[in-house]
């Protein structure tokens, strides 16, 4: 059959057309912003590679997660558990400026939303300011490390590590933790943090929290005293409340039993071995005579010293605490051991020899649950400083406020409102 001439021309034109490949079609349409499915996959892969190459530039800074919950309230160290503290108010934060660049930090530990190097970008000299300040302070106040280690314990033990121990008053007018019978005149170091906070504010206004100021100072104090040095975790925020009643309920007397202390430390997440190591904080510092006077002069109303105490030790203590009638906290201080400025195992060696100032400490050696750890610490000069540093870091991460919870106080003695 003979085809019409117009049809033959049309077929000839079609035979000269080259059918483009799928890749050619993608290249053609991509130029106009259209993408087929496999083209989108290639673009996504390219974008992922670009993001990986950029590193962490677009990530949120560790420890600053929005609405990160605070841990449940647990009774603090050295005391009997009480009611949970009043709920913390959540501060509404303004949006970050357009040119804000979150800190790039190397996280070597992440407990409670905290991170190493938290202030590397926002206040890079923060840790150095703390270290330099403490080094200068120790020249005139060699007891400062012991005071700051105790201050950190007493802060973290009552509701968490949130600088509630530094507040002078709260809006409700209730007595604050400073007014507790377990703090009061015996509390040392809280007033010194004021000077440190002023220096931090001059460097980086309203950036470094008072809670981190306590933790950083205690960490540096521990290292200076002989604990294994480690870079501190940062990112804590400050509490809005402080109640003396909670401190009264959660800080124990020097006569606490092992059962009482074990229950407390268990609620804090520590077993009995860890409890014994943390009680080794008594390796540094001193105690007022009235905290152990009855063991020296009138143990359990016997008119005799505690029979556990060696007689030469009793005589030494009577020379140091010569007047049992001295008003509370106005009598002399006595060193816990012969090396009051060194965080070493001398404290445990004394426990083995029954030379413990506090009744709570003296019971550790002979109890089968705690005695093995006491002897292990006493026999190994290098083990205690290492274990204490590890557990002290864990202690100072207890029940912290992070993210949008709490606030960063301008001054440590009062809230911002």
Active-site residue numbers? 154
Q: Nearest 5°: phi and psi at 341?
A: -105, 0
The total of other beta-carbon atoms located within 10 Å of residue 166's CB is 29
Confirm whether residue 177 is marked as ligand binding. Answer: yes
What is the number of alpha carbons within 13 Å of residue 364 lying toward its C-beta? 37
CA distances to 129, 139, 151, 220, 400 from 216, rounded to whole Å, are 10, 19, 12, 6, 14
Helix/strand/coil (H, E, C) string of 42-54? HHHHHHHHHHHHH
3-class DSSP state of 335: strand
Confirm whether residue 162 is marked as ligand binding. Answer: yes
Taking the C-alpha atoms of residue 60 and residue 403, their distance in angstroms, rounded to an integer, is 11
Q: Which H or E run contains 331? A: none
Taking the C-alpha atoms of residue 246 and residue 411, their distance in angstroms, rounded to an integer, is 23
Confirm whether residue 72 is marked as ligand binding. Answer: no
Taking the C-alpha atoms of residue 365 and residue 351, their distance in angstroms, rounded to an integer, is 6
- CA nearest neighbour of 166 among 84, 62, 239: 239
Assess contact for 165 and 76: CB atoms under 8 A: no
Confirm whether residue 294 is marked as ligand binding. Answer: no
Confirm whether residue 306 is marked as ligand binding. Answer: no
Confirm whether residue 325 is marked as ligand binding. Answer: no
Confirm whether residue 337 is marked as ligand binding. Answer: yes
Q: Which H or E run contains 349? A: helix 346-352
Confirm whether residue 344 is marked as ligand binding. Answer: yes
Q: What is the 3-state composition of the chain as percent helix, strand, coil, each rounded to the nearest 5?
A: 45, 5, 50
Annotated binding site for Ca(2+): 155, 158, 160, 162, 164, 177, 337, 339, 344
Annotated binding site: 155, 158, 160, 162, 164, 177, 282, 337, 339, 344
Annotated binding site for heme b: 282
């Amino acid at each position: 059959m003979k085809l019409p001439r117009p049809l033959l021309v049309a077929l000839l034109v079609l035979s000269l057309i080259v059918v483009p490949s799928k890749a050619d079609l993608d290249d053609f349409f991509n130029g106009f912003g259209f993408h087929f499915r496999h083209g989108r996959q290639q673009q996504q892969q390219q974008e992922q590679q670009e993001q990986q190459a950029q590193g962490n530039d677009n990530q949120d800074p560790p420890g600053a997660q929005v609405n990160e919950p605070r841990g449940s309230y647990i009774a603090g160290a050295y005391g009997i558990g009480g009611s949970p503290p009043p709920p913390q108010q959540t501060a509404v934060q303004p949006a970050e400026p357009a040119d804000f660049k979150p800190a790039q930090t190397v996280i070597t530990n992440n407990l409670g939303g905290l991170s190493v190097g938290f202030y590397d970008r926002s206040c890079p000299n923060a840790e150095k300011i703390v270290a330099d300040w403490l080094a200068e302070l120790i020249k005139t106040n060699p007891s400062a490390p012991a005071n700051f280690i105790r201050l950190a314990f007493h802060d973290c033990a009552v509701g968490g590590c949130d600088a509630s121990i530094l507040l002078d008053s709260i809006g409700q007018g209730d007595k604050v933790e400073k007014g507790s019978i377990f703090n009061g005149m015996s509390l040392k170091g809280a007033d010194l943090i004021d000077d440190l906070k002023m220096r931090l504010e001059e460097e980086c206004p309203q950036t470094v929290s008072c809670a981190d100021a306590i933790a950083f100072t205690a960490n540096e104090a521990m290292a200076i005293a002989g604990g294994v040095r480690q870079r501190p975790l940062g990112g804590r925020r400050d509490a809005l409340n402080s109640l003396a009643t909670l401190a009264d309920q959660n800080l124990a007397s020097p006569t606490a039993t092992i059962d009482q202390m074990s229950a407390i430390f268990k609620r804090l997440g520590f077993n009995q071995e860890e409890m014994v190591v943390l009680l080794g904080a008594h390796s540094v510092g001193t105690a007022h005579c009235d905290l152990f006077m009855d063991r020296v002069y009138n143990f359990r109303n016997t008119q005799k010293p505690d029979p556990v105490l060696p007689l030469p030790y009793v005589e030494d203590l009577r020379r140091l605490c010569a007047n049992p009638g001295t008003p509370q906290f106005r009598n002399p201080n006595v060193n816990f051991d012969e090396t009051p400025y060194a965080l070493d195992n001398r404290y445990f060696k004394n426990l083995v020899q029954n030379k413990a100032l506090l009744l709570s400490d003296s019971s550790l050696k002979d109890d089968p649950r705690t005695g093995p750890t006491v002897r292990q610490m006493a026999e190994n000069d290098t083990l205690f400083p290492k274990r204490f540093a590890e557990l002290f870091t864990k202690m100072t991460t207890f029940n912290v406020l992070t993210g949008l919870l709490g606030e960063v106080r301008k001054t440590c003695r009062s809230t911002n409102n």
